[in-house]
Amino acid sequence: MSLFTGAAVAIITPFLDDLSVDYERFAQIIEEQISGGTDAIVVTGTTGEAATLSQKEHLDVIEFCVKQVAGRIPVIAGSGSNCTSEGIYMSTEAEKRGVDGLLLVTPYYNKCTQKGLYKHFKAIADSVKVPCILYNVPSRTGVNIAPETVVKLCTEVKNIVGVKEASGNISQIAKIMSLANGKVDLYSGNDDQIVPILSLGGLGVISVLSNVAPRQTHEICQSFFDGDVAKAREMQLKALPLCDALFCEVNPIPVKKAMALLGKCKEIYRAPLCEMEDAHAKLLEKEMKNYGIL
């Protein structure tokens, strides 16, 4: 049984002026995501600025999200680390807080071998009972999970069920699925590649775009699943300029600016992230208007 199919939002973490978590706005964002048709929530991921949350904040945000969602859709928590023991601790603590699954990023900076990746992910997954999704994002972590390693993990470790593929390498993703033998739940990690990855057997997307366009992102996936590939393709292509604008600076700077423009949060980041360049902000606002969400 897959953790989810369709569009999961990689949800932002809103902050107050004093840089503490704005739980009131966070609750509102969660509710709007659920009412907008989002199929799952991925909390404390890259888009949630987990890298600058303390351990306590990280776990408090997870717990709050689980309680707010109250079982209506799956909640998947980012709990990975570049330190295996840290990943085990955060994953077991997230499990205690009632998450439906975990998202495990590749260990950044260490740049371990494929053998090291296997041992790292297996150790974390073996410490919990909930399903785990690998997160391959080499542009951020400096290490790529080879297709053979993805398939080996999904085949040999019972609760590693799939991968969020954000390498952008369609050939690599196709190879994963050619080796998968039905063992790998594949999710797009890039909003501009939802339909291409669905066409390779993907189950959905873990999406930045869903923060500002939950209904549309869900419908891209649902149209494909319903057999209306032409509609899914049309919606994917229509979203491309906005997707590009949402990544014109490093994520989550643009999406947080977009959410601020929509009145969903304040444009507050934790350093070293900072406000967008004016030219990029104007481009983002333009594409939001063109897409019809502003």
- For 15-62, what is each residue's pLDDT tens digit? 999 999 999 999 999 999 999 999 999 999 999 999 999 999 999 999
Q: Is it true that the peptide bond before 74 is cis, omega within 30 degrees of 0? A: no
Q: Which structural domains are found in the chain, ordered by start?
A: 6-228 (3.20.20.70)
Phi first, then psi: what are they for 11, rounded to 5°? -80, 145
- Decide if 187 is catalytic: no
What are the tens digits of pLDDT across the range 191-239?
Answer: 999 999 999 999 999 999 999 999 999 999 999 999 999 999 999 999 9
Two structure tokens written together for 243? 């997707």
- Decide if 135 is catalytic: yes
The answer to whether 159 and 121 are in contact (CB under 8 A) is no
pTM for the model stands at: 0.97
Q: Which of 135, 187, 269, 291 is catalytic?
A: 135
What are the tens digits of pLDDT across the range 100-111?
Answer: 999 999 999 999
Q: Beta-carbon neighbour count of residue 278 at 10 Å?
A: 8
Q: Which of 152, 164, 257, 264 is catalytic?
A: 164
Residue 100, SS3 per DSSP:
coil
The answer to whether 246 and 209 are in contact (CB under 8 A) is yes
- The CA distances from residue 143 to 112, 136, 166, 208, in Å, are 7, 8, 12, 22
Asked if the model's pLDDT at residue 1 lies above 90, the reply is no
